[in-house]
Chains A and B, each alone.
Chain A
Amino acid sequence: MWLPININENSPEPLYHQIEVQLRALIVSGQLAEGTLLPSIRELAQMLKCSVITVRRVYQDLESEGLLRTRQGTGTFVANVQEEDRDRQRTASVIEAVEAAVDAGMRVQLTREEMMQIIVQILDKRWKENG
């Protein structure tokens, strides 16, 4: 099975992190239903042109978060994601993205007020776009 995962080779984010974030989102959003059999480590590595070491790391991380489970000899499956887990995971990825945005702002020495302004502007714009 193909997975809609995009890799940006010029991103500063490590490859395993890019894959992990996207795969987590696919599971948490319910796009990959409980019980779905994921590609084997070697297959996913082939699809994404990365090493099996990277994919193994992603599968292990998501397994320890309880999003995946591995059955010896059969493969890796999407686990049963509880409603509260889903909510926690949903916000976790957003918090991480906002943190990265704030870091970017600090790097170019924006003030707290300037950053607030930008965030409010973007929120206003998006909400208007979506009616």
Chain B
Amino acid sequence: MMESNAIAIRGVEQHHQHFRLGPINLDIAEGFVTAIVGPNGSGKSSTFRILLDLTKPDAGSMTVLGYKVGEGDDREWKRQIGYLPEESSKEDSYLRGSEKAAFVRQWYDGWDVNLYQDLLKRFEVDDSLKIGKMSKGMRRKFELALVMAHKPKLLLLDEPSSGLDPIAWKSMIELLHRYMEPGDRTILMTSHIVEEVRRLADFIVFMVRGQVLGKYEKDELFQRWQVLFVAPMNPASPSISSVLPSAWPGVVEAEPAGGGMLRIVTENAELTENALIDMNYRINTRQSLTLDEILDALMRRGAYV
């Protein structure tokens, strides 16, 4: 796999009356799935629209697939992108699925009619229906087939699974994994579904209140963030109440737990453990944190800086 960026965002800002996005600096590596995670209104969808030059930033610059966004003819690079917005467009409800597909395919040289048919079959979508008459789930699956049928190099998926039932959700996950198989394709997605990020993402980006809080390799993130229940090795040593665990390396939160123990949330388990051993503490129990628990802890911390 080549190590290059499918997307590079440099100092991008967008100012609204009640919301300020950025400045955002972010690289999205080619060949990987990156999931942006964050509460509603944190600027995820705005970032997608800026990347596609649908709205203009007030500052900063971006490249997508090596092309500078907002300069020159954008058809070349947009042809290599599949973009699934969060909200379906209302205007095409009166069209049959097949009519919409016939319209879309004109714009893409790489449109693969067999792949399109295969996607419809796999998702059990009937494209002879009027789009407005499709169920919410079928409509989402139809839209997903539309953005993938031209075999894009880059998929931008904004909440792809919204409206999907568990069976359809599972086939979407499998489909996206298979899409990534060639190794030079890239997915940038947003998701509220913890399990979806867990199953798909290689990298996780946290975004809160218009800011990027950080980008992490997924497995490393879950390895580092842990809950530890600890106690002094020697019960006669200074009591729990007199120590200051919030100053220990890596510790994000600490509170007394039952049985003379402390419950510690760490963002660097290895660092914290080594410090604990040096201080003659023993680790009684460890638990991993879920993605939303990590996000929650990051946000609570962010509120005070």
Chain A interface residues (CB < 8 Å from chain B): 9-10, 12, 14-16, 40, 42-43, 45-46, 49-54, 56, 107-109
Docked CA distance A74–B214 (Å):
36
Residue-wise, chain B 86-128 has the 8 Å CB interface mask toward A (1 for contact) of: 0000000000000000000000000000000000000000000
Please, could you name 11 A-B residue pairs with CB atoms under 8 Å apart, sorted by A? Answer: A12-B286, A16-B219, A42-B181, A45-B202, A50-B218, A51-B32, A51-B201, A51-B217, A53-B202, A53-B217, A54-B219
Least Cβ distance of A75 to chain B in Å?
A: 11
**Once bound together, how far apart are the Cα atoms of A43 and B179, in whole Å?**
11
User: Do A46 and B177 touch (CB < 8 A)?
Assistant: yes
Judge whether B198 is part of the interface by a CB distance below 8 angstroms. Answer: yes
CB contacts (< 8 Å) of B203 on chain A: these are 51
Residue from the list A9, A40, A107, A109 in contact with B181, Cβ < 8 A: A40
Shortest beta-carbon contacts, A-B, top 5: A51-B202, A51-B218, A46-B177, A15-B219, A54-B219
Query: Is the pair B287, A49 in contact by a Cβ cutoff of 8 Å?
Result: no
Beyond A15-B223, A53-B219, A56-B1, 16 extra complex contacts between A and B, CB < 8 Å:
A9-B288, A12-B269, A15-B219, A16-B219, A42-B183, A43-B177, A46-B174, A50-B218, A51-B201, A51-B202, A51-B203, A51-B219, A53-B217, A107-B277, A108-B233, A108-B282
Q: Is B222 an interface residue (CB 8 A)?
A: yes
CA–CA, A16 and B286, complex, Å: 19
Residue among B173, B219, B269 with the highest chain A CB neighbour number at 10 A: B219
Residues on A with C-beta less than 8 A from B180 are: 42
Q: A residues within 8 A CB of B16?
A: none
Say whether, besides A53-B217, A54-B219, A107 and B282 are in contact (CB < 8 Å).
yes
Residues of A within 8 A of B277 (CB): 107
B199 CB within 8 Å of chain A: yes
Give min CB distance, B187 to chain A, whole Å.
Answer: 12
In the assembled complex, the Cα of A3 lies from the Cα of B180 at a distance in Å of: 20
